[in-house]
Amino acid sequence: MELIVSSSIGVLTAGGIYLLLRLRTFPVILGLALLSYAVNVFLFASGRLAIDQSPILSRYGEASYTDPLPQALVLTAIVISFGMTAVLVMIGLGAYLESDSDQIDIEPDDDDPQDEGAA
């Protein structure tokens, strides 16, 4: 199981980073989403893996539980990363609508007087 989880984290990270490095906004947003998955699972896994040990206290005698703290942290992280993705989507959308291009790289603006001074 550990191998499955860690390899999934690795594949998600690799895919996320590759997409983050693309030159258009949409793939970057997708990349960020993948990377958020990877990070959330990574944080979750820092509590180590356990099966059938949900951190819901049993009313009927002793039981063992998995580490609840990373779960609590990841739960809010999932919601926050949704908020972050949404803001990013809006920024990307705004940039596209304003400039009619969804390219990531900023073309140097020839009208900029400072650049002329430097050149």
- Restricted to residues 88-117, the positions that interact with another protein (CB under 8 A) are 89-94, 96-98, 100, 102, 104-106, 108
Q: What is the DSSP letter of 100?
A: S
Place of tokens 């059938």: 52
Residue 31 CB, nearest approach to another protein (Å):
9
Surface-to-core class of residue 74, CB atoms within 10 Å of its CB (0-12 exposed, 13-18 middle, 19+ buried): buried
Q: Write the binding mask 5 to 24 for another protein: x where contact by CB under 8 A, - elsewhere.
A: xxxxxxxxxxxxxxxxxxxx
- How many amino acids of this chain bind another protein (CB under 8 A)? 88
Rg (CA), the chain: 21
**Near another protein in 27-66, by CB under 8 A:** 27-30, 33-34, 37-38, 40-42, 44-59, 65-66
What sign does the CA torsion over 23, 29, 34, 35 have? positive
Q: Which is nearer to another protein, 105 or 110 (CB)?
A: 105
Q: Which is nearer to another protein, 98 or 110 (CB)?
A: 98
Q: Which two tokens stand for residue 114?
A: 């400072």
